[in-house]
Every structure is written in structure tokens, then in C-alpha cells.
Amino acid sequence: MNVARALTLIGAIVLIFLAQPTLAGPPFLTDDPETVDYQHWEINTYAAGGQVRSEASGVAPGADINYGALPNVQVHINISMAYDQLSGGPLNYGYGDTELGVKYRFINPGEDDWWPQVAVYPLLEVPTGDASKGLGATGKMREFLPVWLQKDFDEWTTYGGGGYWNNPGLGNKNYWFFGGVLQRKTTDSLTARGRIISPNGRNHHNDSLR
């Protein structure tokens, strides 16, 4: 096991013992329109990693932090320690990019209404990580402008949507992203989930973490 893989494994084990139960998991590509309750916090800790050809990269640890600033309004920050290692090369480890966002749910129907929840959730990725060492995406400010929808049917929940990524940088392209999730609650502690996402124009390994 190389150093990068060991780092991810150790981070994941530590977070299992430190993390508190929450209503949501670590950050994902496909989101939902639900917001954190007013004046409440939601903190998700996570570790993730992957390998593409001869390069391993990931986050260990990371924290996805959300606060209900107003009813149906959630402010968000994602901070992380990132790593990157080429096969046979040194391990680069340090602070990664910082993600900031505000989610606003502008349609919040009652349980008996037929229309879905709808929210906008603009995100800003601040290039605080050193992209030259693989600890940041591109070294440029990036923006994501999505719309998310959700509808509940008894034990079933479906949510998804998409938006547009402004993705500056040499060799990069702006692109659209779409995704959807269908899940069913089988017990109070177990939920089955399936996900479909669109191909995207991202060309940097760290983007696969969400």
C-alpha cells in the first residue's frame, strides 16, 4: 500500500470514530433542495481518494459545514486537507481548495402537494490549494450555478437537477452537469440508493471527490 492510499484509509478510520450522526452524508455531485433548519448546524466529516493511471489523489480529512442562516436559506463552506502523489514520487499534502455556497429553497410544498421542492445553490470554488502540487483543481476561481428538485412518495425519494460550471484554466472548458438520485427507505437505519449523472468536462482528479 502506498503512502497516499494509507493516508486515505487512516483518515477514514479516524473520522468513523469522530463523526457524529447527521441527516446527510459527505458532499456529493448530485444535491437536493433541502436546507438545514433555521439556526442549526450540519457538519459532515469525510475522507475520499482515488487513482487515475499513475496518480493518486484525495482528501483526508475534509469537512462539509452548513448553517441555517434563515428559514429555507443555508450557508455552506467545504474545507479539506488534500494530497496528491505520482507513482514513485513524493507525497504532496496540504490545504485544498475552499468551497463556499448559499442554498435558497424557494418552493417548499406541504406533504400533500403534488409539486416538488426547488432550490438554487450557487457555489464558488476558491483556489486556496496549490494547483502546481495537485492540491487544487485549476488554480482559478470556479463557479457552479445549479437548480435542485426533490419529491417524496411514501418510502421513496427522488431528487436531482443540474447547472452550469464556469471552469477557467488552460485546456479547461465550461460545461453543463446533470444528475439524479432515486432512493427508498427500507428501515430506519438503511436506505437503498441509485444514481445517474451526466458526463462532465472536468479534467482534474480532485473533482471526483464530490
**Cβ 82 vs Cβ 94: under 8 Å:** yes
- Whether the model clears a pTM of 0.85, i.e. scores above it, the answer is no
pLDDT attached to residue 38? 98
Residue 13 host element (H or E): helix 3-18
3-state helix, strand, coil in the chain (%, to 5): 10, 50, 35
What is the number of other CB atoms lying within 10 angstroms of the CB of residue 136? 24
Are 11 and 47 contacting, i.e. CB atoms less than 8 angstroms apart?
yes
pLDDT of residue 209: 40
Give the span between the Cα atoms of 109 and 130, in whole angstroms.
43
What single-letter DSSP state applies at residue 154? T
Residue spans of alpha helices (H) in the chain: 3-18
Provide the strand spans (E) within 26-72: 41-52, 55-70
In terms of residue numbers, what domain contains 45?
3-209
Residue 180 half-sphere exposure toward CB, CA atoms < 13 A: 6
Cell of 196: 445517474
Residue from 67, 154, 137 nearest 102 by CA: 67
49 near 58, Cβ under 8 Å?
A: yes
Per-residue tens of pLDDT for the chain, all 210 residues: 565 555 555 555 544 444 444 344 456 678 999 999 999 999 999 998 888 888 899 999 999 999 999 999 999 999 999 999 998 889 999 999 999 999 999 999 987 888 999 999 999 999 999 999 999 988 999 999 999 999 998 889 999 999 999 999 888 899 999 999 998 877 766 656 566 667 554 444 334 344
To 10 degrees, the CA torsion angle through 108, 35, 47, 206? Answer: 70
> What's the domain count of the chain?
1
Which grid cell is 178? 446533470
